[in-house]
Amino acid sequence: MLITPAFAQAAGAAGDTNSMLMSLLPFALIFVIMYFLILRPQQKKVKEHAEMVKNVRRGDTIITSGGLVGKVTKVIDDDVVEFEVADGIRARQMRQMITGVRAKGEPLSDRPETEGKTKPAKGAKNKDVAPANDAGEAKDDSATK
């Protein structure tokens, strides 16, 4: 017998480290696949959400995490916005709880708009003339009195 028992044990131990690396390879491969299929897209969504929330401004139509839809009326600070759910009903919401922006609104100007000062349409001669009825005739309010 030329092979001693100690040498035989050492040769078996070298084979164990190689098989141990091969048994860990599937776990490493699963982690790499999970990183590219799950973690990276989620990180991308988080960045997009943070950018969307940062860019919310007055006039935008938003959806909250509770399902409320409203128009932003005021940006309180970096964390809170005020939005109008219905006429005269306003609520404050944390920016992070905004799940989506449905419509980007034009930023409202700080100047009050001139109400009732619209230009008359071309061809309109008299303000008192009502719009045409079903028969296509114009109705004058002063004629019915």
Per-residue tens of pLDDT for the chain, all 145 residues: 566 666 656 555 555 778 888 889 999 999 999 999 999 999 999 999 999 999 999 999 999 999 999 999 999 998 999 999 999 999 999 999 999 998 887 665 554 454 445 555 555 555 554 555 554 444 555 554 4
H or E element, residue 11: helix 5-34
Look at residue 59 and tell me if it is in a domain: yes
Look at residue 117 and tell me if it is in a domain: no
Do 59 and 44 touch, CB atoms closer than 8 A?
no
Do 120 and 128 touch, CB atoms closer than 8 A?
no
Look at residue 47 and tell me if it is in a domain: no
Residue 96 main-chain phi, psi, to 5 deg: -65, -20
Look at residue 63 and tell me if it is in a domain: yes
Q: What pLDDT does residue 109 have?
A: 56
Look at residue 138 and tell me if it is in a domain: no
Q: What pLDDT does residue 145 have?
A: 45
Tokens representing 29?
């491969």
Q: What pLDDT does residue 75 have?
A: 92
Residue with tokens 């230009």: 119
Q: What pLDDT does residue 104 have?
A: 81
CATH number at residue 96: 2.30.30
Tokens representing 59?
């006039």
Print the domain residue range for 88. 55-103
Q: What pLDDT does residue 89 have?
A: 94
Look at residue 85 and tell me if it is in a domain: yes
Look at residue 35 and tell me if it is in a domain: no
Look at residue 113 and tell me if it is in a domain: no
Split into its structural domains, the chain has a count of 1
